[in-house]
Structure 1
Amino acid sequence: MTFPVLQTARLQLIEVQAEHAPAIFDVFSNTEVIKYYGMDPFKEVEQAEKMVGHFRTTYESKRGIRWAIVIEEDNRLVGTIGLNNLALGMKKAEIGFEIHPDFWRNGITSEALRAVLNYSFEELQLHRMGAVTFPANNASIGLLEKHGFQKEGELRNFLFQNNQSHDAFIFSLLHTEWNTN
């Protein structure tokens, strides 16, 4: 099973490998990155190594695909993006992403999202892409809406972080609504 590599104007979306663990740790140990992620920040690089293994296992079991977002110019991993809860038979998945704050607000996540959505709808033939966000995560909500996602509702006490439950918003984008422009 060959991992799908996606190419954009500035990025390569590639399989997350063991050598990416330090960069993954740099992203997931940053409190600003995981503020709305539904998990606590990493404390040790071993946590990133386990995450890399989890990404591989999830891909091999066809339950998800996680790409490393790599700046092609300098081969630097700046975040990840991927499909969670992938159900090929049901033609659906959920999108998830995170990026290091040094690369916020410069279109990288949007560029990666566009490539993954195109792959998901055109190659995998998915019919529905979902997304779950914290209600206060305005940046992710804006990015999802920019790409045509519609808010469907609120999930009460859906996420657990910092020893408390949090509500979440659920968004979706259907293949029939997807516009590659």
Structure 2
Amino acid sequence: MVAVNAFPILETDRLILRQVTKDDANSLLKYLSDKEVMMYVGLEPFKSIDDALDEISWYRSIFEKRTGIRWGITLKDQEEVIGSCGFLNLVSQHYRSEIGVELSREHWGKEIASEAFEAVIKYGFDQMNLQRIEALIEPPNIPSQKLAEKQGFVREGLLRSYEFTCGKFDDLYMYSLLKQEFNVKQ
């Protein structure tokens, strides 16, 4: 695995993916308080600025501990964070990590999540030297399944009662993408 010291900034045609700071707390609160955005995230909708600040602290901690990295998604001509995408549960000795993404509802259906997702996947394989990227997706979350499948992820199976979130057990589909599969697509 490549050690990362400075937080990397990723750029796509329309997006800048950057580190989320305390200055972004209001932006995060705006979209993470939306129950539709949070429906499949495994967290209750945020209720206060403290919830957003806690999320930002978590982003910083996973980066510092090298267990993940989470980018804020911004449009090139705007500073406002409209979503986030990144890796969590990084297992460096096995060259694998989970990936996740969420996006403000006002930006759904514009291929923004797809653009950010692809940039983060590419970074994971090229810069972090991952061999396998996993996506754990609830069965009713059809848009996320389509997003993963569009990037070449393969559904491996159903993990029954895999997580206990928001007072209930959730089944999750396990999707994966291997480095050689992504490189063939490029």
Structure 1 residue 77: deviation in Å?
1.1
Indicate the residue corresponding to 2:50 in structure 1: 46
Q: Is 1:83–2:115 an aligned residue pair?
A: no
Give yes or no for contact 1:14–1:69 (8 Å, CA) kept in 2. Answer: yes
3-state SS of the aligned residue for 2:106? helix
Give yes or no for contact 2:24–2:80 (8 Å, CA) kept in 1. Answer: no
Structure 2 counterpart of 1:157, from 145, 154, 161: 161
TM-score (norm 1): 0.97
Give yes or no for contact 2:88–2:98 (8 Å, CA) kept in 1. Answer: yes
Deviation string for 1:35-86 (max 9, x for gaps)? Answer: 1111111111101101101110110010000000011112221100010111
Structure 1 residue 159: deviation in Å?
2.5
3-state SS of the aligned residue for 2:102? strand
Structure 2 counterpart of 1:37, from 19, 41, 48: 41
Aligned equivalents of 2:49, 2:18: Cα separation in 1 = 20
Which has the higher mean CA deviation after the structures are superposed, 71-80 or 92-101? 71-80
Structure 1 portions without partners, runs of 5+ = none
Q: Percent identity?
A: 35
Indicate the residue corresponding to 1:170 in structure 2: 174
Aligned equivalents of 2:134, 2:170: Cα separation in 1 = 18
3-state SS of the aligned residue for 2:93? coil
Runs of at least 4 residues off by over 2 Å? 159-162
What count of residue pairs does the alignment treat as equivalent?
181
Indicate the residue corresponding to 1:120 in structure 2: 124
Structure 1 residue identity aligned to 2:65: S
Q: Is 1:55–2:59 an aligned residue pair?
A: yes
Structure 1 residue identity aligned to 2:22: A
Structure 1 residue 88: deviation in Å?
2.2
Q: Is 1:93–2:61 an aligned residue pair?
A: no
Indicate the residue corresponding to 2:16 in structure 1: 12
Structure 1 residue identity aligned to 2:52: A
Give yes or no for contact 1:80–1:97 (8 Å, CA) kept in 2. Answer: yes
Aligned equivalents of 2:113, 2:134: Cα separation in 1 = 17
Structure 2 portions without partners, runs of 5+ = none
Aligned equivalents of 2:6, 2:93: Cα separation in 1 = 20
Aligned equivalents of 1:61, 1:165: Cα separation in 2 = 28
TM-score (norm 2): 0.94
Aligned equivalents of 2:17, 2:93: Cα separation in 1 = 24
User: Root-mean-square deviation (CA), in Å?
Assistant: 1.0
